[in-house]
Copies of this chain bind each other. A is one copy, B any other.
Amino acid sequence: MAHPRGLVFKRLLTEDRDARLVVALAEDGEQQPAVVILSKPPFQESHVREILSGDFAGTEEHRNDKFSKHSLDVPARLNGIMATMICPANEVDVAKYTHQVKHFVRESAALYTAATEPFVRALPPKQLAWVWNILDHEKEVESIIDETEHYVMVPDTKWDQADAKQLHCLCIAKERGLHSLRDLRGTHLPMLRHTLAAGRAALLRAHGVTASQLRVYVHYLPSFWQLHVHFALLSCGGAAAGTSVGKAVLLEDVIDNLARDGEHYATCSLSFAIGESEPLFGRLREHLQLEPPAPPAGGAEGQGEPATKQPRRE
**A104-B18 CB under 8 A given contacts A55-B6, A67-B86, A205-B307:** no
- Complex CA gap A39/B134 in Å reads 40
Our pick among B51, B102, B233, B310 for the contact of A38 (Cβ within 8 Å) is B51
Interface set, chain A 56-101, CB cutoff 8 A to B = 56-58, 60, 63, 66-77, 79-87
Chain A residues bordering chain B, tally (CB within 8 A): 118
Residue pair A103, B40 in contact (C-beta under 8 Å) = no
Residue pair B53, A9 in contact (C-beta under 8 Å) = yes
**A313-B48 CB under 8 A given contacts A40-B20, A244-B244:** no
Asked whether any CB of chain B lies closer than 8 Å to the CB of A30, the reply is no
- Complex CA gap A52/B35 in Å reads 11
Whose C-beta in chain B lies nearest to the C-beta of A39? B43
**A311-B209 CB under 8 A given contacts A81-B72, A245-B250:** yes
Indicate with 1 or 0, residue by residue over A276-314, a CB within 8 angstroms of chain B CB atoms: 000000000000101110000000000111010111111
- Complex CA gap A103/B234 in Å reads 8
Our pick among B71, B209, B253 for the contact of A82 (Cβ within 8 Å) is B71
* Chain multiplicity (copies): 2
Residue pair B68, A208 in contact (C-beta under 8 Å) = no
A137: min CB distance to chain B, Å: 18
Our pick among B9, B18, B81, B310 for the contact of A240 (Cβ within 8 Å) is B18
Our pick among B36, B42, B56, B72 for the contact of A17 (Cβ within 8 Å) is B42
- Given contacts A15-B43, A18-B237, A68-B85, could you give 19 more A-B pairs where the C-beta distance is less than 8 Å? A3-B60, A4-B58, A57-B76, A66-B87, A69-B84, A70-B82, A71-B83, A72-B80, A102-B234, A102-B235, A104-B211, A104-B213, A164-B313, A165-B313, A206-B304, A207-B313, A208-B309, A208-B313, A253-B271
Q: Which are the 9 A-B pairs with shortest beta-carbon distances?
A: A238-B239, A73-B76, A205-B304, A103-B212, A18-B237, A17-B42, A245-B248, A239-B239, A7-B52
